[in-house]
Chain A
Amino acid sequence: MSRITIGIVDYELGNHASLLHSLKKLNYRVLVSDEPSVLDQTDVLILPGVGAFPMAMKALKEKKLVSYLQQQAQINRPIIGICLGMQLLTEASYEGRYTKGLGLIPGETIELAEPLSHIGWNNIDRVNSDSILEGVEGKVFYFNHSFAYEGPSSYIKFTANHKKKITVIVRHGSVVGLQFHPEKSQAAGRELLNKLIIGMIDA
Chain B
Amino acid sequence: MLKKRLIGMVVVKNGWAVQSFGYKKYLPLGKPECIVENLDRWGADEIIVISIDRSKDNLGPDFDLLQRLAKLGIDTPIVYGGGIRSVEEGVKVIQVCADRICFDALLHSNLNVVNELAASLGVQALIGVTPLSLNDEEVELFDYQAGTTKIIKSDELIKISNTVSELLVVDWRNEGQPDSFDFNLIDRLPSFNVPLILFGGISTVKQMQALFSNENISAVAVGNFLNYKEHAIQNFKERLTDMPLRTAKYENSIIEIS
Contacts and interface: CB of A to CB of B under 8 A. Distances in A.
Contacts of B73: 17-18, 20-22, 24-25
Contacts of B122: 50-52, 84, 95, 145-147
Contacts of A144: 77, 99-100, 124-125
Contacts of A15: 70, 94-98
A119 B165 contact: yes
A55 B120 contact: yes
Nearest to A147: B122
B251 interface: yes
A199 interface: no
B70 A17 contact: yes
A63 interface: no
A117 B193 CA distance: 10
A160 to B, nearest CB: 8
A14 B77 contact: no
Contacts of A184: 75-77, 99
B1 to A, nearest CB: 6
Nearest to A185: B75
Nearest to B91: A51
Interface stretch (A1-9, A69-77, A120-128): A120-128
Nearest to A146: B124
A183 interface: yes
Interface of A: 12-15, 17-18, 20-22, 24-25, 50-52, 55, 84, 95-96, 115-123, 140, 142-147, 160-162, 181, 183-187, 189-190
Interface in B199-258: 218-219, 246-247, 249, 251, 254
Contacts of B140: none
A122 B3 CA distance: 6
Interface of B: 1-5, 43, 45-46, 70-71, 73-77, 91, 94-100, 119-125, 165-166, 193-195, 218-219, 246-247, 249, 251, 254
Contacts of B98: 15
A88 B97 CA distance: 22
Contacts of B2: 118-122, 143, 160-162
B3 A96 contact: no
B128 to A, nearest CB: 13
15 contacts: A15-B95, A15-B98, A18-B73, A20-B73, A21-B74, A50-B125, A119-B166, A120-B4, A120-B5, A120-B46, A121-B3, A145-B124, A184-B99, A186-B75, A187-B254
Given A121-B2, A146-B124, A161-B1, A12 B95 contact: yes
B218 A120 contact: yes
A68 to B, nearest CB: 22
